[in-house]
Amino acid sequence: MENLYLGIEFGSTRIKSVLIDASNEPVAVGGHNWENRLTGGVWTYTLDDIWQGLQASYKAMAADYEHKHSKKLTTISAMGISAMMHGYMPLDANGELLTEFRTWRNTSTGEASHVLTPLFGVNIPLRWSIAHLYQAILNGEDHVNQIATITTLAGYVHYKLTGENVLGVGDASGVFPIENGQYSKKNIVDFDALVANKSYSWKLADVLPKVLAAGETAGKLTEAGAKLLDPAGSLSPGVSLCPPEGDAGTGMVATNSVSPHTGNVSAGTSIFAMLVLEKGLSKLYPEIDMVTTPDGMPVAMVHCNNGTSDLNAWVSIIHEALGLVAGHNNLNDVYEKLYNSALTGDADGGGLMAVSYLSGEHNTGFEEGRPLFMRQPDARFTVANFMRTLLLSSMATLKLGMDILSENEGVTITQLMGHGGLFTTKGVAQKLMAGALSIPVTVMETANEGGAWGIALLAAYTAHREIPLGEFLEKKVFASRTGSTIKPDSADTQGFEKFMKGFAAGLKVERTAVDNFR
């Protein structure tokens, strides 16, 4: 039997399926576009969105395989599910969802975060699952007493496919604080004491999914799971699954960034950097999450809710305008030309400023977002400066967190591996980010394969777990792969420093907009 490994990742805007062979090369790819929706003040996707999207993505991949190999895809050696980290999916004893799926983008958990962070002595970001659970308790929500488990999107899909309530340690580290590869026992005791007066029918340890490390087998595809994934009935049950992981973990795998002193930056709907450490930080920083690699190494994560959403909206409206005027309909071409124009703009944006907050931003203290674009009366208002400003704005909040790690903790990274939609146009965002962060940025030839390839690699790793994950990636996956590296340009760095001074002023305008523009 041919060794084939499948990875499926639920990204913010696309559900992607990647099938790889024994040499870890993609042999079939499929995808399905989807978008979150703001319903009743909650950023969410419906269950129909989840299952129809999963089936459409798998069907497209299977069709691609059949087209290339002239046979149906019926067996897979192993597979894995990955998805956007964090968020909140509480399930009852029958495995049914008790509320709408609350994604990482929701920032309504401030009260819970402010209580749990000092209680645990660990930064508890707004998007973490435990923050959502405690906020639901504070809100007096009826569903809380019916909870049998809380999980993430990856954990939920994995559970429905296998019947196993588990999470990979990387994804679990966005649910509850991790210590030595498992949930912190002290923090579990702290939480149970905090809610003891509620007399719930559950204790926290009972409702948290089991934690597994990379390489462990996390169940098998059931007959019902096979039909859920492939309603056509071609796929046989019994496929082994690796632990479900978050997109941050699969991004680290896909960029060979799981060993100490390596790091990567993922830039799409959200933007975040993951820096692998030898040990934890010296103290708590509200701007920094402590999570883990898929094999349990400590990671300092600078996560920003707002990445390219506002930037994409501007490109979309320019594309629409071009269609009205000239019948231009190639969106990819518009992206490429607009992005490349940014390289000819003024290094500091020429007196323009954007705060691209579509949603709240924990790192700068915003519970909601209002995308803003501003300019000085004498600004050099050109297409090049307009695009450069939008691109620089997408990196600005990330820069604030990265500065904390370098200046306060002495964290040094010799290069960052870049991946995600922002890097699709070759060399543009890569050059600007190198200048903004003063770190060389490398983009691999596999960057567009992304987290779906990463979770497929984790599925393949289940057959190689006798060696460390980092060694598996170094020797068996990346040894012959190449990438391009761009070093910081001093003019870009100086321009970005000037831009950041304007960005600080722009945040004051953002506060006024959030408070008053309703």
Neighbours of 245 (CB within 10 A): 37
Segments of 98-177 assigned E as strands: 149-151, 166-168
Distance of CA 201 to the CA centre of its chain: 33
| DSSP H stretches of helix in 230-350 | 247-254, 309-326, 331-342
Do the beta carbons of residue 338 and residue 383 sit within 8 Å?
yes
Segments of 258-397 assigned E as strands: 263-267, 271-276, 289-292, 298-304, 352-355, 372-375
Residue owning tokens 């790793």: 461
| pLDDT value of position 269 | 86
| pLDDT value of position 445 | 75
Torsion of CA 221, 224, 230, 236, to 10 degrees: 50
Residue owning tokens 């978008």: 35
**Token representation of residue 119:** 């209680």
Do the beta carbons of residue 445 and residue 328 sit within 8 Å?
no
Do the beta carbons of residue 300 and residue 425 sit within 8 Å?
no
Instruction: State which residues of the chain have pLDDT below 50.
Output: none
3-state class (DSSP) for residue 361: strand
Q: What angle do CA 185, 188, 190 make, to 5 degrees?
A: 110
| pLDDT value of position 448 | 59
CA distance 437 to 489: 11
| pLDDT value of position 343 | 97
Distance of CA 219 to the CA centre of its chain: 24
Nearest to 157 by CA among 206, 221, 213: 221
CA distance 11 to 8: 9
| pLDDT value of position 449 | 64
Enter the pTM of the model: 0.86
CA distance 266 to 252: 9
Do the beta carbons of residue 306 and residue 397 sit within 8 Å?
yes
